[in-house]
Amino acid sequence: MKLTNALFSCVIFLLLLGGLGYALLKLQKLEGGRKAPNPQSVIAASNQGAGSVALSHKVASSWRYNEIPDPLYGAKIAIACVRSTNDVQLTFANHTVPAELCLRRARQFGLDAYVQLQGNGDILCGIEGCSVHARFDKGRIRSFPASGAADHSTNIVFINRTHAKSFLAALKKSSFTIVEISLYKNGEQELAFNTANLIWK
């Protein structure tokens, strides 16, 4: 009788031990099925988070500034440019081109204000002159006498220097500016610029 009880106890013990082992094995499989986080994914996620923080603290200005040495006149040419928020449509080449609205001050020329396409495109304004229409914020549409480049480049148009100061004064007060230019075989098209917070003396 005692031997039977001992055998029965051993069987129960072995069954319990086997069940514990099976449970441990299942637990290991479950843990093994969980993939470790990809380091690249973590970096990408942190970069995205950092980018969103950076954007929330971004200075509300789209102007870019540069100074170019002018050894001949012993001075510097100051330039400020802002890129258009839209592109012009060029049907003859079947593509779009952005533009820049720029200010330039040089000792030999004084103040220049101009719009330049960032690529191919023919603005209809020769050296004999034309008009450029502009609207600053919600103000009235204004017409500025303009002319083409002295080197006959066709992707740029200059506000006449006699009106450059009034153009600049309007830019300084504006947050948003629309400029209309006339393009060869592409008609009149409008370019929009974020012109807020211009720093120019």
Question: Tell me: the pLDDT tens digits for 83-130?
Answer: 999 999 998 767 899 999 999 999 988 999 999 999 888 999 977 799
Residue 113 CB coordination number (10 Å): 25
C-alpha span between 14 and 115 (Å, rounded): 89
What DSSP state is assigned to residue 200? -
C-alpha span between 168 and 110 (Å, rounded): 13
22/146: higher pLDDT: 146
Q: Where are the beta strands (DSSP E) in 84-186?
A: 88-90, 95-97, 99-106, 110-117, 130-136, 141-147, 156-159, 176-183
| Average pLDDT of the residues of the chain | 78
